[in-house]
Amino acid sequence: PEKKPPAESEEKNPYLVLVCGGGNAAQVATAMFALRYPTIAVSLYADEAAKWKEALGDDDYELTLDTGKVVKSKPDDITNDPSVAAKADAIVLAVPSFAHGEYFEAFAPYMKPGTLVACMPARSGGDILFAAKLGAKAKDMIFMGFETLPWACRFTEWGRKATILGTKGSILAAVTPPSKFPHAFALMQGMLGVFPAVTESPNNLGISLRNPGAQIHPGVMYGRWCPEKWDGNPVDEKPLFYQGVEEFSESVLMGLTNEVQAIRKKMEEMVPGLDLRDGCTLHQWYLDSYAGQMTDDSSLRMCMNTNPGYRGLTHPCKDAEDGKFMPDLRYRYLTEDVPTGMCFNKGLGEILGVPMPTTDKVLAWAQECIG
């Protein structure tokens, strides 16, 4: 018989991606992955999926890349139905970490063995939460925790157009079980493109300890608004967040990061061969993440003060009378980063018997703020 041409004899490889969320990152990921793969966007938040579906209508989503190229694509569906997880080969979560558990729980009954679940970013203890929500099924799945989002991005028109402002050169990720890293790496690098280069981190615990939000956000908020520094009255202008870090705030951040390093040291002593190298100090995290961008990287405070990406960013504030401002002490820097970051660090410290006086002080204050 006549041999079929290669295009017909090659097997087709169907591959379905679910992207969870409806914010900046989720819409960008959906548009990017839908260029090449069948892609379904899932949002379990209120009526976000219906609103997005209505906003897009029959049109394509328009994504402007940081290379200047404009690409157009359309997800196969935008839904709030978790049963679509049954068809998924990869599930990418680009939602705030406090919502991860809700998605894991909703998808658990439907997921097929071997599904890759990638969290961008994973935040602290993401692998433990995944195992808890999936129970016995977790051992048949692949969990991939990313340290951060691959891109800085924003909507230009909600539900219809977005722009990637910048793409990270490289991004750390850890896989549970570690033996599945080559498989997970191939899938995610293929979906993301050339950049960011996905770099292997030895384990998800290192990614958890590396979580900068768990220390920077609550630490800087405490440094400016704790009773020692603020009298409770409205302020004339919104204080700078990163550029406004002074000696006192830096001392708080140093206390927090040193306590995480004490946890890392104790665990590496207790478990021979455990590699937590990526659970680094905050200063080292800045050197890794923003090398060459800061005009002075000699100290943690200088890294924060001179990082051009932070220029003009202020503390989250609410309007008060007479054009003044009050801090928003229920902003995600506390409501998200304390329960899904700082509390994880504190829990490890308690288990290991590591004293954490700075963490205790910031945690007690933050709990009062968020209720």
Residue 249 has which token pair? 């705030």
- Identify the three-state secondary structure at position 239: coil
Cis peptide before 196 (omega within 30 of 0): yes
How far apart (Å, rounded) are the C-alpha atoms in residues 304 and 295? 10
Torsion of CA 105, 106, 111, 113, to 10 degrees: 0
How far apart (Å, rounded) are the C-alpha atoms in residues 293 and 316? 25
* Nearest by Cα to 198 from 206, 189, 207, 187: 189
How far apart (Å, rounded) are the C-alpha atoms in residues 81 and 64? 29
How far apart (Å, rounded) are the C-alpha atoms in residues 121 and 149? 6
| C-beta of residue 119 within 8 angstroms of C-beta of residue 100 | yes
* DSSP letter assigned to residue 342: I
Q: What letter represents residue 273's amino acid?
A: G
| C-beta of residue 198 within 8 angstroms of C-beta of residue 188 | yes
How far apart (Å, rounded) are the C-alpha atoms in residues 215 and 347? 14
- Identify the three-state secondary structure at position 171: strand
Tell me, yes or no, if 100 is annotated catalytic.
no
Q: Active site residue: 100, 217, 283, 315, which one?
A: 217
* Nearest by Cα to 368 from 334, 342, 317: 334
What positions carry a catalytic annotation?
Answer: 217
